[in-house]
Amino acid sequence: VQLQASGGGLVQPGGSLRLSCAASGFTLDDYAIAWFRQAPGKEREGVSCIGRRDGNTYTADSVKGRFTISKDNAKNTVYLQVNSLKPEDTAVYYCAADIERSRCTGYYGTLAYWGQGTQVTVAS
């Protein structure tokens, strides 16, 4: 049972990336999946979440309008489309399963199956 994040890289300000979080050992109907990020010297920040059954979404105000979460149940993968990137978006981005809450509200329950993280660096 694991999540594997990928898709990060070095991008110029204003650029875009699509991050992927592939699940194995369970399906996306089992858990809500959330994206977090952590920059050096800063606390981990919840970025976005997608619910397990109805696929409701939550996106933090800091990235709303620029980041979009989605999922492909056939591929068992959650995506985070990150657009209009800014230097302050530089961080390691992680995905995790919320094994306690089915829907996304911005508050998280018990988080498990953390992926290894993917580095996003925004610099000119």
User: Residues, the chain, total?
Assistant: 124
93 within 8 A of 56, measured Cβ to Cβ: no
Residue 34 has a pLDDT of 97
Q: Quick one: average pLDDT of 11-20?
A: 98
Residue 89 has a pLDDT of 97
Q: Residue 88, SS3? A: helix
Q: Could you tell me which residues come within 8 angstroms of residue 118 by beta carbon, excluding any fewer than 6 positions away? A: 5, 6, 7, 8, 19, 92, 93, 94
Residue 115 has a pLDDT of 83
Round to whole Å and give the CA distance between 20 and 23: 10
Round to whole Å and give the CA distance between 116 and 50: 19
Residue at 94: amino acid letter: Y
70 within 8 A of 81, measured Cβ to Cβ: yes
The pLDDT confidence band at residue 66, using thresholds 50, 70 and 90, is very high
8 within 8 A of 116, measured Cβ to Cβ: no
Round to whole Å and give the CA distance between 17 and 35: 14
> Across all residues in the chain, what is the average pLDDT?
96
76-122 tens-digit pLDDT: 999 999 999 999 999 999 999 999 999 999 899 899 999 899 999 99
